[in-house]
Every structure is written in C-alpha cells, then in structure tokens.
Amino acid sequence: MKSPETDGISTVSTRASARQADLNAGSSIRSATEKVRFHGRTIQGDCLDIMPTLPDQSVDLVLTDPPYAINYRSNRRVLRSRFDFIENDMPGDWIDIFAAEAYRLLKQNRHLYCFCRHDTYPLFYTAFERAGFSLKRTLIWVKNNHGSGDLQGDYAARDEWIIYAHKGRRLLRGKREDNILEFPKIHTGSLLHPTQKPVELLRFLMRKSTDGGEVVFDPYAGVLSTALAAVEEERDFTMIEINREYIAKGLKRLMNVERSSHYEFETPDD
C-alpha cells in the first residue's frame, strides 16, 4: 500500500470564476463577498490508511466505486493511449477492512451504495454483511451501450451492479423506484478515469438517500465525480483518492461548477 501524502491542507473559498483563474495562476485567495454554506474535503492518500483516522459516525452516506479486485486496466483508448492499471486493484483482505471502516464511519440509520461487478460481487456482499450492514437490494445500472470483452464467446455486458445497504434503517426519499437504473455511460472520448461514473447517476442516488447539507463520503474518489454530484445537490462531502493526478483533474472539474461558489474546499497542497 502507498503511504498517504496528506501533509498540508489548503482551504480555498472563492467564486467559481475566480477559483478557476486562481487555479490557472497557481495561487489561492478568499473572496470577502462570498457566502460559504457548504464544506468539501479532499484527501490524497491510501483510504485504508486514512479512514481509521476519521471520526466514528461522521458521514451520512457512503457512495463509492472501489477497485473490483481484478487488476483492472481499461482497453479503451483515450487520446491514443490506454489508462494505467487501477491502483490497489488486487485480491486480498482489503475489502473486509474497507467494509468495516465504512460501517464505523457511517452514522446510524444511513445508507451505503457500492459499485461492483458480477464476478466479485460475493466478496463485497459478504464483507458488508460481516461488517454489520443490512443488505437490502442489488441495483442494476443499465448503460446505453455495451462494453468489449470476449466479442465472440460471451454476451455483451451492458450492466453494472450496485450493492445497496443500510446501517440501521432509513427511508428512501421521494417516490418508490425500481432497482433498474438507466443512465448513459460516459463517452470514451470524455473519460478522465477508466471507470468514471456518470454524475447524474450519482446525483440520483444522493437524492434518494440524503438531505441537503448532509455529508457524502467516497473513499475511492477518482476524478471526484461523487464530489461533483454532491456540489450539484448541495451536500457536504469528504473524498479520498490515492492518485494525485486524478485529484487535480477532479478539482478542475469542481471549479467549473457554479454552485461551488457556496463551498469551502479543503484540498491537498501541490
């Protein structure tokens, strides 16, 4: 596992346009006229090292897309080069550690959503069960087009699975939905991360399981799509990501969101 590199956290609160200009200039300023209503924290490091340092029952939703324990590397080409292998995407007991820490950090009567796939689903399911979660339902995300894989010897996969679980019990918000979620996948040419999830799907899950101002937690944050969804839905957030390059891409995305002007961000120093 990599050691966390979390020395130095800079607090940034500015208008979205000012933030973007500031980001390009490589400095940070605080806007005296800005009204801060929400808080977002991004930590760079290995989540298995960082999660034990966070307080018990400090988050309202765990929404995450962890490595699938398959040593995954996307074969899709982006700008003529393939993405690197996903860091820490190896079989092992890390899934149990992650599940136990997620349970500890989550407040009572709250929800967890965890993306997974059919072949490693049992590993995640049993780990969450051992941690104390009540497993409610597997949601099926149906994409608008299929992946690659074995083109002649297998059916084309057009789905991804999401484990939905409770700690205690909390009612879903809004009307009752079925467990088949149809959201377009991100076009290959727009991907910033090999397993990047659509923000609209993440926003939907947040609306079903949280109220405004509650804290969304993603310990495998990638290019901060969960943070982006949290800003759009006016939720606080805590993100952990091991790859500094992905964090930089994610922060750039956040600065371009109009609602980010209402946020105070804590980000890793460069």
pLDDT, tens digit only, all 270 positions of the chain: 433 333 333 333 333 344 444 444 333 333 334 567 899 999 999 999 999 999 999 999 999 999 976 444 444 444 444 545 445 445 667 999 999 999 999 999 999 999 998 888 999 999 999 999 999 999 999 997 766 667 788 888 889 999 999 999 999 999 999 999 999 988 877 787 677 899 999 999 999 999 999 999 999 999 999 999 999 999 999 999 999 999 999 999 999 998 888 999 998 864
- Structurally, the chain folds into a number of domains equal to 1
Looking at the DSSP assignment, which residues form a beta bridge with residue 10? 267
Looking at the DSSP assignment, which residues form a beta bridge with residue 166? 111, 134
**Res 268: pLDDT:** 86
Residue 4 lies in a domain: no
**Res 190: pLDDT:** 75
Determine which helix (DSSP H) or strand (DSSP E) holds 140, and give its type and residue range: strand 134-142
Residue 1 lies in a domain: no
How far is 194 from 71, CA to CA, in rounded Å?
12
Domain that holds residue 105: 9-268
Residue 178 lies in a domain: yes
Three-state DSSP string of 183-241: CCCCCHHHCCCCCCCCHHHHHHHHHHHCCCCCEEEECCCCCCHHHHHHHHCCCEEEEEE
Torsions phi, psi for 53 (to 5 deg):
-90, -10
**Res 225: pLDDT:** 96
**Res 199: pLDDT:** 96
CB 225 within 8 A of CB 199: yes
CB 69 within 8 A of CB 123: yes
CB 218 within 8 A of CB 64: yes
Residue 2 lies in a domain: no
**Res 154: pLDDT:** 84
User: Residue 104's domain is classified under what CATH number?
Assistant: 3.40.50.150
